Amino acid sequence: MAISNSLMKFEAVWIQFVELVWAAIHTVSTCAHNHSTINATKGCVGCSSAAESISHDTMTKRTSITSFIAVLKLRCVNTSRQIMTCLFRALHIILKLLKLNDSELKDDFICLSIHHIQKLHWDPGYQLNAGKVVSIVTDDRHSLSEDSAQFGIVSGSLLQLLCSLVEQSDTEDTDRRDIFVKLADVIPRLGTFLQEQQDTPKSLSQYSKHKILMLMIRLKPHIQQNCSHIICLLKLLRRHFQSTLHEPMFQHSTKLENCLEGSPFLLSGVGLGELQDKSTWHLQRQAMYLFLSCSIVLACSGNDSRLKCSCKRDQCCHKGQGCTDNCNYFGLSEISVWFQRCCLDKILDSKSSTDIVLCFLQLYMEEDDMLFIILLQLLDAPLISLAIDKMESKWTSELIGAKLFSIVFDPVHIFHQWLSLLHYDHLVLVDYLISKDVGVHCAQYLLRCLRLVSGCWDAFVDDSVYEAQIQKFNCKRQRTLKNINSFTGSSMEGTKLGSSHDKENKSKEQLFLSAKVCLLSLKQTLEDLHKKDLFPYNPKPLLKRFEELCAQY
């Protein structure tokens, strides 16, 4: 009983300490905010509202706390940025220790932090103004670039804490969903971190974008039951990541045999420009995955009765009738516009749809975790075509890009091309399956793909089925756009005669045989490892899928 009482007292004192840290953050935050609007002398007196109310709610019984807040108000004028950065980092370290020790106090910390983050000042340009205060009060020689750098450090520290609050592993934890849904209100405010960053060093700007995208990706599973939250994510992407989303994919060409993952020689062999390109490509992977996953959720919203929508009719600016139709059209139109800007001109220039798929996959091949979550997402691509078919015909002409996206990113064709990028090496698939980081996602992807291949065997064996769908839709699109005179039958490569046609058929047959050998070898290896009890988990579901597939051979 005594031990239990001691633990309760310790927990109460610990919570008071965390409350004190947040009270200090609110005090410094309010001081900086007031100083950005009035002069420095009056600002010190006027920073009492938010911080005092918070400290009063938690610990006003202790006069020492009140005295501490009063002293902090006087000192924060000259050190507001440094204090906020240090306090955010302190909270981040506390959270890391709680997770490391699997402490029961972790949930209390997360709830408390989310509660206080919702109360922070998020005025446009406020964070940067907090930096400018220092240059006004202390030293006029501080340059704008220095203030911008400090702004990036403060915002980066907060974003780091936010991402730690919503860990990747938490995406499957439905018990905490209600807690993380509260952070949905923070999403529109994230734009303040991306505003006025023209003078911020590129490395800090890239880091902030990376953390914001990571936070939105982790939040999405918790907030995607409400269409208005998904629309908010898409609008933030459109406003602040448009150039990243529309970066051409055809510039990426990953050479797997030249990759030295984790090797110290990798950095010494590339220049600064190439390193910057790698960070840009990473942002593109994050942005494109978030964009496609959100758009597909909205595009298929009519098929999910669990989805709720609290958005206003004019929030989406759609042309549908009901709220569900509005969100449905919004998601489809977003995909259509994006695909037309990024890829549709490549098909018009006689670039094959297979090149688009290969370049898209090559973009993700350097990051295994991102690779499999985008592969799993693209399995839903056919649902886009079905959603368009259910719409009124007068809107379908505006969604040509989305329709073609659904056909180009056919899951069976993607699976075939992914195996080709792996050089049909079944041992690479084994490495993926036993990986602690991506093993589960790889198994999920293989299970679904093997089921698809069993049901679409003809498309897997003969790639001309896929090409016929592309050609048929391209001809239809040309008629819709009244561009028939600009394209001839030969430009679409619809008919090939003579020996070139025979050679291409032989090449396609060889690709199928390579894929067949790869999958059969994987099946045999899994069976051998399972018999020797060397496989880290039960592969029977996979082996069952392989048996269904072998019946097709």
User: What percent of the chain clears pLDDT 70, i.e. is strictly above it?
Assistant: 63
The mean per-residue pLDDT over the stretch 399-414 comes to 90
CA separation, residue 300 to residues 297, 306, 327, 389 (Å):
5, 12, 9, 12
The identity of residue 104, as a single letter, is E
pTM for the model stands at 0.81
Burial track 179-200 (b if 16+ CB lie within 10 A, e otherwise) = bbbebbebbebbebbbebbebb
Spatial separation of the C-alpha atoms in residues 104 and 99, rounded to whole Å: 9
- 218 in Cβ contact with 163 (< 8 Å): yes
CA separation, residue 410 to residues 443, 490, 497 (Å):
19, 24, 27
Q: Does the pLDDT value for residue 11 go beyond 90?
A: no
Worst-scoring range by mean pLDDT, 137-141, 240-244, 284-288? 137-141
**DSSP states of 337-362:** HHHIIIIIHHHHTT--HHHHHHHHHH
pLDDT band (50, 70, 90) for residue 261: very low
Which residue did the predictor score with more confidence, 323 or 413?
Answer: 413
Residue holding tokens 């098929």?
303
**CA pseudo-torsion sign 256, 262, 267, 269:** negative
Instruction: State whether residue 308 is helix, strand or coil.
Output: strand
CA separation, residue 269 to residues 244, 275, 277 (Å):
26, 10, 14
Q: Does the pLDDT value for residue 247 go beyond 50?
A: yes
pLDDT in tens, 32-63: 555 544 443 343 333 344 444 444 444 444 45
**Phi, then psi, of 322 in degrees rounded to 5:** -90, 175
Spatial separation of the C-alpha atoms in residues 16 and 108, rounded to whole Å: 12
Strand partners, 308: 226
Count CB neighbours of 136 within 10 A: 14
Q: Does the pLDDT value for residue 284 go beyond 90?
A: yes
Using only C-alpha atoms, what is the Rg of the chain?
A: 27
Look at residue 349 in the predicted model and tell me its pLDDT: 41
Q: Does the pLDDT value for residue 277 go beyond 70?
A: no
Strand partners, 226: 308
Which residue did the predictor score with more confidence, 41 or 328?
Answer: 328
Q: Could you tell me the two tokens for 120?
A: 């922070």
Look at residue 499 in the predicted model and tell me its pLDDT: 42
